Amino acid sequence: MAKILVVDDNVAFRKSLNEVLMSSGYTVDEAGTGEEAIHILEKSTPDLIISDLLMPGVDGFELCRYVRGSESLPNIPFIFCSGFFPQKEQEELSKLLEVDDFFDKPVDFEQLLPAIERNLKKSSTASEKHVDDSESFFSNAHADLVQSKLWSAIEQERKQRARAEALVARLEKNLESFIASVAKAVEARDPYTAGHQRRVATLATAIAEEMGLDETRITGVKLGAIIHDIGKIYVPAELLVKPTTLSSIELEMIKTHSKVGYDILKGIDSPWPIAEIAYQHHERIDGSGYPRALKDGEIILEARVVTVADVVEAMLSHRPYRAALGGAAAIEEIKTNRGTLYDADAVDACLKLFERGFSFEEDKETTER
């Protein structure tokens, strides 16, 4: 039975065509590139060649020219399979390269098999086929195909990226909504600090924007701030609302919320360091904070921003054990401890915001951003 050489860089297509041809009684050789096909042709001569057009390295055009220009191979029937040329250009290419048949992809094997049989029968009586290298159409058609393939790949990549970005945006929106819902559940246990995380998020986001941070970090600051006190869900409610000074033991219990928050959040696969923000928002630049006594560069930038916002909001708000301390005290606190307890850049940005009249009354729902 006749031997057919199948040349295509698409493994799945080669496998499918191989199965069809072998089930029809043909012997099949396969090549994934034009170079591989030439190596095979140097060792043996097939009765017919079926080739893709555009492939890495030596493509179908060049392979066909090689075959038609060879002294020993010019009369082999050559069939192209491609999805890039309309019918008119297929006819022109077939005449120029003396291609015997042209099939669009996806190939209809029920039409291909009769074409193979027809071309094998006429090959024995056909005159020699040679490509006229003086023809300019070959070069133009080859360039057009490469350009078409390139733009098709670019457009496909653009669409895939757009779909991926849309999916990521939906996932991020869902995560933001989830975080906001959990934050409200945490605050529901402590009526005195209801809205605290939301207000910290508002101020921290404004500080991050004032500092000129990129959008990814700004989003991370916002989401981390919204849920930075989630660890308090494990703190007894009576401690959160106790109107008198906490004992040392009670204070240590309160302090566990940073580590507990980290343990809760660390399992969330997020592009933002929300778990570390919860873990680090009570750390201080000089190492005097808790729970790990981190210093300066050991504290991530997002946590440093949230720390400043957390301190300012806490001093501006009423607590069970004290009245609100007021804006002047909050400003003095971060000014005095700028670069010692608190990140200098975050403090400077916060001060600029309040100089311009920043107010929590302008706060919006955190999921709007």
H-helix segments, the chain:
11-23, 34-43, 60-69, 87-97, 109-123, 137-187, 196-210, 215-226, 237-240, 248-255, 257-265, 274-280, 301-316, 327-336, 344-355
Looking at 3.40.50.2000, 1.20.120.330, 3.40.50.300, 1.10.3210.10, the CATH number of the domain 157-368 comes to 1.10.3210.10
| Domain residue ranges in the chain | 3-135, 157-368
pLDDT digits (tens, 9 = 90+) for 305-359: 999 999 999 999 887 777 889 989 999 999 999 999 999 999 999 999 999 999 8
Note the CATH number of domain 3-135: 3.40.50.2300
pLDDT digits (tens, 9 = 90+) for 130-142: 444 444 545 555 5
Higher confidence at residue 335 or residue 106? Answer: 335
> Is there a common fold for 3-135 and 157-368?
no
Smallest Cα–Cα separation from 281: which of 335, 207, 342?
342
Per-residue pLDDT, 335: 95
Total-model pTM: 0.55
